[in-house]
Amino acid sequence: MPTPTAPPPKLLDRLRHACRVRHYSPRTEDAYHDWCRRFILFHDKRHPDTMSEPEVNAFLTHLAVDGHVAASTQNQALSALLFLYQHVLNKPLDRLDGVIRAARPKRLPNVLTPDEVRLVLSHLDGTYRLMADLLYGGGLRLLECLRPRVKDVDFPAGVLVVRDGKGGVDRRTILPRAAGEPLAAHLERVRVLHAADVAAGWGRVWLPDALARKFPSADREWGWQWVFPASRRWRNRTTGVEGRHHAHETAVGREVTRAARASGLSKRVTSHTFRHSFATHLIEAGYDIRTVQELLGHADVSTTMIYTHVLQAGGRGVRSPLDVPPQGPV
């Protein structure tokens, strides 16, 4: 009897596989999957192999004209479709002409003054206060604050190592002295929690790439544990292994929003506002723009230059003529 052959993988499953082979982040993989799915549904479930540049142009134009999406959103959809045709279908797209591009508004980042930062921080307690201290004190993105392992914290050097940041780049940033003692106390509590998990037969953590195969016991080692573990354990549906993931970003964002409202500020405050404030306050203090660029992990200094336009001393430090005292009798 001939052995039955397994059906070929579906297109979107092939897309996910192509993303994982190239070590794309799970968020990028999910975003590409969703955009390709929307592209297929927009064209009445036609297979992308039967479509090409005109259909891609029509979809991208629809996003800008009917969907009113931001320029970054349209660019992400374009990147997903370019990836699909080049790396999954092996049919790279030619020039895409006639696409109506979403306008990219020139907006300045929302920045708090140092006093406003301290006011918001005063309305946060416990672990959320510690997270916010690191967001502002180290200029971290939210996931960069939640994903460090214990081994990435260097107390003597005052350094926090950010692994696999935006663009897959590692970097070193500041570990604020003011957060050192609270963080050390927090890690002692995490160590006790981890020891209890290990004693119960669990205590595992997710490891990147092939480290789980190279070092089978590393997922239980203290150095690989999350600095901010989740309160609940997760279970791998395939293997049945139970462990802890890092804390979820939505809980942090919710607490920051609550603290901002309790502070009575009229400004919109998110977890990313601390990063904007970090960069602006360093430039105000006279630090070199290249140093700030490295701490933020920007690939291009032009991205960091935007903070020179939001300095608190009257835009570019220019004194308003209304503030100049009169010279002589009025």
pLDDT tens string 254-297: 999 999 999 999 999 999 999 999 999 999 888 999 999 999 99
Catalytic residue among 147, 194, 246, 275: 275
Q: Is residue 154 part of a domain?
A: yes
165 lies in the same domain as 266: yes
Number of domains comprising the chain: 2
Question: Model confidence at 203, in pLDDT bands (50, 70, 90)?
Answer: confident
Does residue 280 lie within any of the structural domains?
yes
Q: Are residues 191 and 290 in the same domain?
A: yes
Q: What CATH number is given to the structural domain containing 158?
A: 1.10.443.10
If asked whether residues 137 and 185 sit together in one domain, one would say: yes
Catalytic residue flag (residue 68) = no
In a domain, 293, yes or no: yes
pLDDT at 156 over 60: yes
187 pLDDT above the threshold of 50: yes
Q: Is residue 148 in a domain? A: yes
Which residue spans within the chain are E strands per DSSP?
153-154, 159-162, 171-174, 229-235, 242-246
Strand partners, 244: 233
Pairing of strands 242-246, 229-235: antiparallel
237 falls in which pLDDT band (50, 70, 90)? low
pLDDT at 223 over 90: yes
pLDDT tens per residue across span 240-255: 667 888 999 999 999 9
The residue segments making up the domain with residue 120 are 114-308
Active site residue 166: yes
CA distances 28 to 19, 62, 120, 148, Å, are: 8, 22, 32, 20
Exposed / middle / buried, residue 208 (Cβ in 10 Å: 0-12, 13-18, 19+) = exposed
Active-site residue identified among 14, 38, 166, 248: 166
* 21 occurs within a structural domain: yes
Do 186 and 288 fall into the same domain? yes
**Alpha-carbon Rg of the chain, whole angstroms?**
24
* Residue 94 forms part of a structural domain: no
Q: Which of 43, 172, 248, 272 is catalytic?
A: 272
**Active site residue: 32, 128, 136, 307, which one?**
307
Would you say residue 313 has pLDDT above 60? no
pTM of the model: 0.79
Domain match, 226 and 177 both: yes
272 is catalytic: yes
Residue 29 shares a structural domain with residue 177: no
Examine the domain organization and report whether 242 and 183 are in the same domain.
yes
For residues 145 and 285, state if they share a domain: yes
321 belongs to a structural domain = no
Tokens of 49: 């192999």
**322 confidence band (pLDDT: 50, 70, 90):** low
Q: So what's the pLDDT on residue 323?
A: 65
Q: Which residue has the higher pLDDT, 209 or 167?
A: 167
- Whole-number Å distance between alpha carbons of 139 and 27: 21
Q: At 231, is the pLDDT very low, low, confident or very high (cuts 50, 70, 90)?
A: confident
Question: Region 151-174: what's the mean pLDDT?
Answer: 90
Residue 259, Cβ neighbours under 10 Å: how many?
21
Tell me the per-residue pLDDT of 40-91, one tens digit each, with 9 for 90 and over: 999 999 999 999 889 999 999 999 889 988 888 999 999 999 999 999 999 9
Q: Does 150 lie in the same domain as 82?
A: no
Residue 144 and residue 59 share a domain: no
pLDDT at position 234 is 79
Active-site position among 149, 246, 281, 298: 298
Q: What is the DSSP letter of 90?
A: S
For the segment 16-39, what is each residue's pLDDT rounded down to a tens digit? 999 988 888 888 999 999 999 999
CB-based contact 242:204 (threshold 8 Å): yes
Looking at residue 21, which CATH number applies to its domain? Answer: 1.10.150.130
Question: Would you call 281 a catalytic residue per the annotation?
Answer: no
How open is the CA angle 131-108-129, to the nearest 5 degrees? Answer: 10
Q: How confident is the model at residue 5 (pLDDT cuts 50, 70, 90)?
A: low
Per-residue pLDDT for 312 more than 50? no
Q: Is residue 84 part of a domain?
A: yes
Q: Which of 141, 149, 204, 281 is catalytic?
A: 141
Same domain, 205 and 154: yes
Considering the chain, what percentage of its residues have pLDDT values greater than 90? 58
Mean pLDDT of 140-160: 94
Q: What mean pLDDT, rounded, does the chain reach?
A: 87
Instruction: Please say if 267 is a catalytic residue.
Output: no
Question: Is 46 one of the annotated active-site residues of the chain?
Answer: no
How do strand 153-154 and strand 229-235 relate by DSSP bridges? Answer: unpaired
